[in-house]
Amino acid sequence: MTTAFISHPACQAHNMGANHPESPSRLQAIESHFADTGLLDELISITAQPVENSALLRAHPQSYLTQLQELSPDKGLVYADPDTALNRHSLKAAKLAAGAATQAVDLVANGQCQRVFCAVRPPGHHAERNQVMGFCLFNNIAIAALHALNTGVCERLAIVDFDVHQGNGTVDIFKDDPRVLFCSSFQFPFYPFRYQQLDRPNIINTPLTENTGSQLFRKSIEQQWLPALQNFKPQLVLISAGFDAHRDDPLAQLQLVDDDYRWITELIVSVANTYAGGKIVSMLEGGYNLSALARSSFQHVMTLNSGH
């Protein structure tokens, strides 16, 4: 199984302050654990390249890009929303994260590898078409999806999002696009408090109450995601891979464990193998306990790499 690992050191230069949970140490923890376990040696390591402006404009209007450019400071921090700040390196990091998304699609489309994990930041799934939210500047997974759909890689695709927070930005962008099936599990009621009860045929919301735990999580995914995915038959599968539903995470209370990330990745791999030639692109989203993030992302990527 050929799996690529895309990252860039400049993604660690984006820093929203000493006590912010979405910190540069998140990527350090993942890379260190992958190296220590030997997994990194099994992956094709690729350096992220900045996104093309045309790819950004498929997901966000020019006015939004201009607004972010104008917010970008020469020094210090500027807050785009109460949770999301920019330093002078943030836009470069965000363009690399979005660039990794389009690179990953091209890699699987060209047959250079079958699966890709993008260890990049800032994350993306809360960024709406015209709105910074929840640590996110550009919606990386949406940029990947629109790149695939608009360059002829596929005619329909699925985005699956197992972050503890619903991917409201992804819903905002695709809620009326029948080419995209979006499946999202999340703690409810909980941030971002938008689109969580939206009724659309291509949006599968799976709300979970706090303290759900592994058994109910797995049952809910099997009952709600699997039939939709099997009916939709995606030609490409994209993953918003958030690891903040883990029981050790400080921001949420779903109480998942390391093995749940192996399990859900196996389920996604099975769907991709059946309908999409095994092609998967996974983008890092949340996960704020460094040890749990490293272990859970290891389970995820190890399963991507071995899944068949």
Catalytic residues: 126
Cβ atoms < 10 Å from Cβ of 209: 12
Cβ atoms < 10 Å from Cβ of 54: 10
CA distances from 36 to 8, 59, 115, 290, 291 (A): 19, 37, 21, 15, 13
The beta-carbon contacts of 273-277 under 8 Å, at least 24 apart in sequence, are: 273/307, 273/308, 274/230, 275/229, 275/233, 275/234, 275/235, 276/154, 276/157, 276/234, 276/235, 276/236, 276/237, 277/114
Residue 234 identity:
P
Q: Coil, helix or strand for 80?
A: strand
Residue 203 identity:
I
CA distance 173 to 168: 9
Q: What is the DSSP string of 27-60?
A: HHHHHHHHHHHTHHHHSEEEE--PPPHHHHHHHS
Give residues with Cβ within 8 angstroms of 207, minimum separation 6.
166, 186, 187, 188, 196, 197
Question: Token digits for 125?
Answer: 């799934």
